């Protein structure tokens, strides 16, 4: 029985990239031997075991054969005679098809180290096209290692295009698409994930609402980059650079979906794009089963982001109602996330990436003002429904004072 560290841990070890998860492959063993050594079985489709102490995953060496549609359409074969090379060839990329033994010796039958040096994401074999999830995984790797100069090999991109055209991507479950996308969104260059998906035609299949933004013009005086799709990815880049949360990054990604629905006669203006965006944002969230909190922030940013940009011009009562819709009293963190997303929108524009955005602090100050006014601060003779009315009145008055204290904005 021989044990090898495999996959991402070997890749990242050779790159000097931090990693936490370790996966192992076991050659020459049977399930009975693993159980006898105290390993706990967890695999359903093929034998995977947890180490009795470290709880790290140990999988028996296996081969696989395509037997159906989609990510789960495989039959697996495990046997003590399955070699390390046979196990590694079923993997997606050459840089993921390396193994390391307990002495630190690297086994690299498919030239992964060469592709690490060339900074190429290259498929191991034509069996790549049997698993549609690999399209998303390669796009995610492209985003993760973009800062190191990695690109998708042209021949691998062609296979990704074949998968996008085959109809296999539609067989992916919503959970798998969201899992890969949410992980990609948390990379430092999340925008690359969507660029790669677009370059192989997968964006149109999986995210048609985002794909539809490319080629839609905007007014150059507000958007020097002009293209709505480019603006969306520039805004997402801002969210990544600021290291904002997944909720903020997703909200930024979908904040302008309504612009794809602007009647051509109105272009390059986008009147009412906020309202038009509600339906496509809802569609994306429901199709991908996006978590509720993530969806709620996305809808709020879609519907209200222009009000954030216009914050200094809002009347105190209008500002209060905006904060109320954002659930300012119960969920101040949502107001903060909303402001962050709007700031990314304002800065995701060509040449305006470092522009000042004083609206952010103004809204945060407004949030603190309204939250500081509580029922116990009101006169004791105020009772019943009058309490709520007076709280609103006091909060709007406080917002009026805050507005009056602001310097005149250009």
Question: pLDDT digit string (tens) for 100-127?
Answer: 999 999 999 999 999 999 999 999 998 8
Listing DSSP states for 135-166 in one string gives HHHHHHHHHHTGGGT-EE-HHHHHHHHHHHHH
> Per-residue pLDDT tens for 171-225?
999 999 999 999 999 999 999 999 999 999 999 999 999 999 999 999 999 999 9
Spatial separation of the C-alpha atoms in residues 10 and 16, rounded to whole Å: 10
Predicted confidence (pLDDT) at residue 86 exceeds the cutoff of 90: yes
Provide the CA 93 distance to its chain's centre, in angstroms: 22
Rounded to whole angstroms, the Cα distance separating 93 from 10 reads 13
User: Dihedral through CA 235, CA 241, CA 246, CA 252, nearest 10?
Assistant: -10
> Looking at residues 283-287, what average pLDDT do you find?
98
In 3D space, the residue among 166, 254, 179, 178 whose CA is nearest the CA of residue 210 turns out to be: 254
Q: For strand 62-66 and strand 74-78, is the pairing parallel, antiparallel, or unpaired?
A: antiparallel
pLDDT digits (tens, 9 = 90+) for 233-254: 999 999 999 999 999 999 999 9
The pLDDT of residue 21: 87
Do 5 and 97 touch, CB atoms closer than 8 A? no
Q: Is the pLDDT of residue 153 over 90?
A: yes
With the CA atoms of 106, 107, 111 and 114 taken in that order, what torsion angle do they form, in degrees rounded to the nearest 10? 10
Do 74 and 65 contact (CB within 8 A), yes or no? yes
Provide mean pLDDT across the span 27-46: 87
* Mean pLDDT, residues 279-290 taken together: 98
Contacts of residue 226, Cβ cutoff 8 Å, sequence gap at least 6: 217, 218, 220, 268
- Nearest-angstrom CA–CA distance, 406 and 312: 8
Q: Which domains does the chain have, with CATH numbers?
A: 1-118 (3.30.460.10)
pLDDT over threshold 60, residue 395: yes
Residue 73 in this model has a pLDDT that exceeds 60: no
- Which of 76, 74, 120, 58 lies closest to 94 in space, CA to CA? 120
Which of 34-43, 197-206, 231-240, 273-282 is the least confident region? 34-43
Residue 227 clears pLDDT 80, i.e. is over it: yes
Whole-structure pTM value: 0.91
Q: What are phi and psi of 272, to 5 degrees?
A: 65, 25
171 DSSP 8-state letter? G
Give the rounded percent of residues in the chain with a pLDDT score beyond 70: 93
């Amino acid at each position: 029985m021989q044990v090898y560290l495999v996959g991402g841990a070997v890749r990242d070890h050779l790159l000097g990239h931090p990693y936490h998860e370790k996966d192992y492959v076991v050659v020459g063993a049977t399930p009975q031997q693993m159980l006898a050594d105290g390993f706990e079985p967890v695999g359903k489709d093929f034998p995977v075991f947890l180490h009795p102490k470290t709880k790290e995953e140990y999988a028996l060496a296996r081969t696989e054969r395509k037997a159906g549609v989609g990510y789960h359409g495989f039959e697996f074969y495990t046997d003590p005679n399955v070699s390390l090379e046979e196990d590694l060839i079923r993997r997606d990329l050459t840089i993921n098809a390396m193994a390391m033994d307990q002495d630190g010796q690297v086994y690299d039958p498919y030239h992964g180290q060469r592709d690490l040096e060339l900074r190429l994401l290259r498929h191991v074999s034509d069996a790549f096209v049997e698993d549609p999830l690999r399209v998303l995984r390669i796009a995610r790797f492209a985003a993760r290692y973009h800062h190191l100069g990695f690109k998708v090999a042209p021949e691998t991109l062609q296979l990704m295009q074949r998968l996008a055209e085959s109809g296999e991507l539609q067989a992916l479950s919503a959970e798998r698409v969201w899992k890969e996308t949410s992980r990609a969104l948390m990379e430092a260059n999340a925008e690359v994930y969507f660029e790669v998906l677009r370059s192989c035609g997968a964006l149109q299949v999986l995210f048609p609402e985002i794909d539809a933004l490319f080629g839609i013009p905007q007014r150059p005086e507000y958007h020097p980059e002009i293209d709505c799709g480019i603006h969306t990815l520039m805004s997402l880049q801002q969210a990544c650079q600021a290291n904002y949360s997944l909720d903020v990054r997703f909200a930024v990604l979908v904040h302008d979906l309504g612009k794809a629905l602007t009647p051509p006669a109105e272009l390059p203006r986008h009147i009412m794009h906020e309202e038009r965006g509600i339906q496509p944002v809802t569609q994306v969230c429901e199709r991908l089963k996006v978590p509720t909190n993530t969806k709620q922030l996305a809808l709020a940013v879609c519907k209200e982001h222009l009000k954030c940009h216009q914050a200094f011009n809002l009347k105190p009562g209008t500002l209060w109602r905006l904060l109320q819709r954002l659930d300012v009293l119960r969920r101040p963190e949502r107001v903060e996330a909303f402001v962050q997303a709007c700031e990314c929108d304002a800065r995701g524009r060509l040449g305006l990436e470092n522009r000042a955005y004083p609206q952010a602090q103004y809204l945060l100050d407004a949030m603190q003002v309204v939250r500081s006014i509580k029922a116990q601060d009101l006169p004791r003779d105020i009772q019943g429904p009058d309490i709520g009315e007076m709280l609103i009145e006091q909060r709007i008055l406080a917002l009026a004072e805050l507005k009056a204290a602001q310097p005149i904005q250009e």
